[in-house]
Structure 1
């Protein structure tokens, strides 16, 4: 991207009501068979149009073709039984009924490659594609086969690498791995979490990103955040290792978070997707609020490495709210862009 402060989203955007129940995670599809395939493509086109209308620079599929950012990828793998369910604690936060790993995990065929190719045909803009990271994948399963979180993570990293290489070949410019689990399992992150991520990006020539946030705006997450005190320093644990890693971009939650901005100093030199939009509220930010978050981040991130972004996915939000937030992100970024280029005319809203 040659443009200064190119904007993007962390991943998911709300689905249209005719495709799935709005404002719900794991919402079941309302269409079936051929109609569902067509409906997903229509929703992807619509999501792309929303991003373009809002002035987003690096666009995505809005995750329109998947029910959930982790589960949909796992559903396509062999070795996981979705009928055999166990209750596990997800990210040490809430209990969920999850599928069981019953044998060696393998990827029989591409998962998102056709969708990525379809998105590539719709636009000349840079496109970003999100995949779940190895550690976050193992955190949403019960493992009765490998009986080792680390072993399973290495297997998933190998599978993710196969998918990522094909996504790159389909024309994806940035492949992002979602690792909210990095904010919870600090010892594992440093023992093998970053290493498995490196395995997932092995051999890729496109840019790579890791997205680490405090989760969607769902009750379990917002309740957890209330227990974290006035300063959220979780990033401090993973940043030093990530700074030394070969991941190009680190995507973070900043706006309305109690994350001390100076922690960004620990990843100086990396490109940073700065979350300037709070996904846990229906309140639409003003461009000035977005600009303020970006200005604070610019103390620790070089302007040519700062990518304004959302804190996390926006799937659970109403479409009107998500659309307003995207416009605010663009307008706020434009304000700071003007300031950096010396002609400080306030962006039109």
Structure 2
């Protein structure tokens, strides 16, 4: 019998009070900063409590104060203004009637996506420290030993906040890596694990680089990893989590690049923990890539497969969750598997396909499934 730890990708549903404050800031409307800060502290406390109640071992702050996992950097770093082009994923373009339905139903999030129009520099770590202190306080109150905090990777910033200043993609990535380095180090220095969100390693294939071949795209993704690893040069590898995904939306996903194509890229990240999707119907079969390429998985890597989906309101049966976990236990052993989610439940503030109460029911099912898998191992 082994204990299978549980975690998730990071973002969780926000309350309407939190959303209202975030969009007041986003839309540059007046708001009371002290009231904003108090609302975030209160919400993080409740978010951690709910994670504990659901049986989650390694918790996050739910990315409560952030408008999104990538574009929050525009508020914390200089050099961003104007608006970036919107690139609908290629699979949605293949089905225009579905894309229109999403738009008509409010199925696409609304938030600012400025371009990089100047030198990227940190405005300081004050906002980050508020997030860190909120999470650590809630962890202490609710008896949680391990927590993690999300941060945007250089590559995902370059995906959503496109470059209109630096002379090349390489130069932009290098500038982002240098700018983000202190954020990454601050998170770890304060006793939390660092999670880098890297959908650029998969999603950007069918969102921004549709004109490239898969092999050409992999070269771009490898360049993104090189920039990321540079930014992590002074961060202990055993404190780093990296999440790859193909886009946290319900859609055809028939243009997704295969895990087999980006497997080596993912394994090259300076991370102990790799988080990836294995529950949605387009990638559930790809657990076999890990089985078939087991020899290429570094001995120090811990696999964190998504064993619950984050785009539907089905609550997975714990037996199914256990089966998904056991597949990966059979590859690397129970001590190198943590049960996770496919993606976040609150990727963008005020937007999410899964009902907030159901999101926590899914996390409870994840924990129950992990317990079953632990008994079987």
TM-score, with structure 2 as normaliser = 0.79
Give how far 1:189 is off.
4.1
Shift of 1:106: 0.7
Contact 1:88/1:141 (<8 A) preserved: no
Deviation at 1:243, TM superposition (A): 2.5
Which one of 119, 122, 127 corresponds to residue 107 of structure 1?
122
CA-CA distance at 1:257 after TM superposition: 3.3
Q: 1:194 aligns with which of 225, 249, 255?
A: 225
Q: 2:311 aligns with which of 270, 274, 280?
A: 280
Compared CA separation, residues 193 and 45, structure 1 to 2 (3 A): same
Task: Report whether the alignment pairs 1:98 with 2:113.
Answer: yes
Q: CA deviation at 1:92?
A: 5.6
Is the 8 Å Cα contact of residues 284 and 325 (structure 1) preserved in structure 2?
Answer: yes
Question: In the superposition, relative to structure 1, how do residues 209 and 201 fare at CA in structure 2: closer, same or farther (>3 Å)?
Answer: same
Greater share of strand: 1
Do the aligned residues in 2 keep the contact of 1:164 with 1:201 (CA within 8 Å)? yes
Kindly provide the CA deviation profile for residues 10-33 of structure 1, in whole angstroms up to 9, marking residues without a partner as x: 011001123226xx9x99799642
| CA distance in 1 between partners of 2:305 and 2:49 (Å) | 23
Q: Secondary structure at the residue paired with 1:299?
A: helix
Pick closer, same or farther for the CA change 1:154–1:68 going to 2, 3 Å. same
- The aligned residue for residue 289 of structure 2 is 263
**Pair 1:181 & 2:200 matched:** yes
Give the equivalent residue in structure 2 for 1:80: 80
CA RMSD of aligned residues (A): 2.6
1:131 CA displacement: 0.8
Equivalent in the alignment of 1:214: 246
Distance 1:245 1:294 in 2: 23
Does the CA contact (< 8 Å) of 2:329 and 2:336 recur in 1? Answer: no
Distance 1:102 1:8 in 2: 37
Work out whether 1:161 is the aligned partner of 2:178.
no
- 1:298-309 equivalences under 5 Å are 298-309=329-340
| Aligned equivalents of 2:315, 2:26: Cα separation in 1 | 24
Partner of 2:107: none
Alpha carbons of 1:30 and 1:235: their partners in 2 closer, same or farther (altered >3 Å)? farther
More helix by share: 2
**Is 1:125 the equivalent of 2:123?**
no
In the alignment, is the contact (CA less than 8 A) between 1:101 and 1:143 conserved in 2?
A: yes
Q: Is the contact between residue 113 and residue 163 of structure 1 (CA under 8 Å) also seen in structure 2?
A: no
Q: 1:175, CA displacement in angstroms?
A: 0.6
Aligned equivalent of 1:251: 275
- Within 1, Cα distance between the matches of 2:228 and 2:261? 16
Deviations 1:123-153 (A, max 9, x none): 2421111111111110112322114222111
Q: Which residue of 2 aligns with 1:343?
A: none
Please say if residues 71 and 161 of structure 2, whose CA atoms lie closer than 8 Å, have aligned partners that are also in contact.
Answer: no
Gaps spanning 5+ residues in structure 2: where?
Answer: 94-109, 206-216, 347-351
The equivalences for 1:15-164 within 5 A come to 15-20=14-19, 32-81=32-81, 84-89=82-87, 98-110=113-125, 111-123=127-139, 124-164=144-184
Q: What is the Cα deviation at residue 40 of structure 1?
A: 0.9
* Count of matched residue positions in the alignment of Structure 1 and Structure 2: 325
CA positional deviation for 1:157:
1.4
Aligned: 1:320 with 2:348: no
In the superposition, relative to structure 1, how do residues 193 and 155 fare at CA in structure 2: closer, same or farther (>3 Å)? same
